Amino acid sequence: MRLAVPFGAASASSDQVKNMRWPALARNTHKWLALAIGVQAALWTLSGLYMTAVHIDIIHGDHLVRHAAPTPIDLTGLVEPGAVMGGQPSASARLEVQLGRPVYVVAGGTGRALFDARTGRELSPLGEDAARARASELFAGAGALKTVELLAEAPPEIRGRPAPIWRVEFDGWWRPTLYISAQTGELVAKRHDLWRMFDVVWMLHIMDYQERENVNNTLLRVATWTAVVSCASGAWLLIFSFRRRRRARKAA
Give the residue-averaged pLDDT of 192-199. Answer: 96
26 alpha-carbon distance from chain centroid:
37
pLDDT band at 118 (very low <50, low <70, confident <90, very high): very high
Amino acid at 211: E
| Residues forming a β-bridge with 153 | none
Give the residue-averaged pLDDT of 218-237. Answer: 85
Task: Give the total residue count for the chain.
Answer: 252
Give the residue-averaged pLDDT of 153-168. Answer: 94
Q: What is the C-alpha separation between 158 and 3, in angstroms, rounded?
A: 81
226, 91 Cβ separation under 8 angstroms: no
Residue 240 has pLDDT above 80, yes or no: no
Q: How far is CA 148 from CA 65, 130, 185, 205, in A?
A: 17, 11, 14, 33
Q: What are the tens digits of pLDDT across the range 139-155? A: 998 899 999 999 999 99
| Residue 247, pLDDT score | 60
Which region among 176-180, 231-235, 245-249 has the lowest average model confidence (pLDDT)? 245-249
Please, where are the H alpha helices in 54-169? 56-60, 128-138
Q: What are the tens digits of pLDDT across the range 24-64? A: 776 777 677 777 788 898 999 999 999 999 999 999 999 99
Sign of torsion, CA 64 70 73 78?
positive
- 41-62+124-206 sits in which CATH class? alpha beta
User: Domain limits of the chain?
Assistant: 41-62+124-206, 71-123
Residue 3 has pLDDT above 50, yes or no: no
